[in-house]
Amino acid sequence: MKVSSLLQPYLNAPLPDGVEEKLAQYLELILKWNARTNLTAVRDAEGIVRRHFGESLFLGGLLPEFSTLLDFGSGAGFPGIPVQLIRPLSKVTLAESQGKKASFLREAVRSLAIPSDVWAARVETMPESKTFDVVAMRAVDGMAAAIAVAVSKVRPGGQLALMLGREKMDLPEDFNWADPVAVPGDGGLILLGSRN
Ligand SMILES: C[S@@+](CC[C@H](N)C(=O)[O-])C[C@H]1O[C@@H](n2cnc3c(N)ncnc32)[C@H](O)[C@@H]1O
């Protein structure tokens, strides 16, 4: 399986040197952990590359420059880890409240040697003053309530990036929302809002 050709529809620029190798290593780690824990419902390698890596990298290609990004409810690292791989000078915080998934994220950060932090608890328990340039959220249960928490973690002038299905959602006020962007394949929509 050639990772880069599966990713082609999702990329707006070639992958930086070394990233394809890191993605292959990340894939191996997911497959290994998924065999014994329920890390992600997408279990086949090609599906993981397209749906998880591809959609996360597509988001990464849309984001403006940022120093800090919070991946709210990261699960097995999406979209945070692929975004970190193509933005190595930025810092991604992977927030995940389920212990096993957070352990996986720690292992992935260590073995991929990326500068990400893992917040192994609910986002609500972060210090109130801690905010980020970008807060990204994909497939978090109870999205409407989670969005309300996510808003509080976006610094003034920062961005909220929502990866949604086709469902209608009330969007937070206080943000300027760009037109939704369709993710290739059946990946739903990305909504990017800038905080006033
Ligand atoms: C369905 S998974 C999706 C994971 C990943 N974003 C993806 O797209 O594959 C949602 C994850 O969000 C985590 N989660 C939900 N609410 C959270 C919160 N308030 N703080 C931290 N993690 C949360 C859950 O534990 C779960 O692992």
For ligand 1, say whether the CB of 78 is within 6 Å of any of its atoms. yes
- Residue 166 and residue 190 in contact, taking contact as beta carbons nearer than 8 Å: no
Distance from residue 73's CA to the centre of ligand 1 (Å): 3
Please tell me the pTM assigned to this model.
0.97
Residue type, 7: L
The 10s digit of each residue's pLDDT in 40-88 is 999 899 999 999 999 999 999 999 999 999 999 999 999 999 999 999 9
Q: Probe ligand 1: pick from 140, 151, 186, max atoms within 8 Å of CB?
A: 140
Greatest alpha-carbon pair distance for the chain in Å reads 45
CA nearest ligand 1 atom 7, residue: 78
pLDDT at residue 168, as a whole number: 74
For ligand 1, say whether the CB of 93 is within 6 Å of any of its atoms. no
Structure tokens at 193: 């809002």
- Count CB-CB contacts under 10 A for residue 53: 24
**Domains contained in the chain, CATH given:** 3-195 (3.40.50.150)
Distance from residue 100's CA to the centre of ligand 1 (Å): 12
* ipTM metric: 0.99
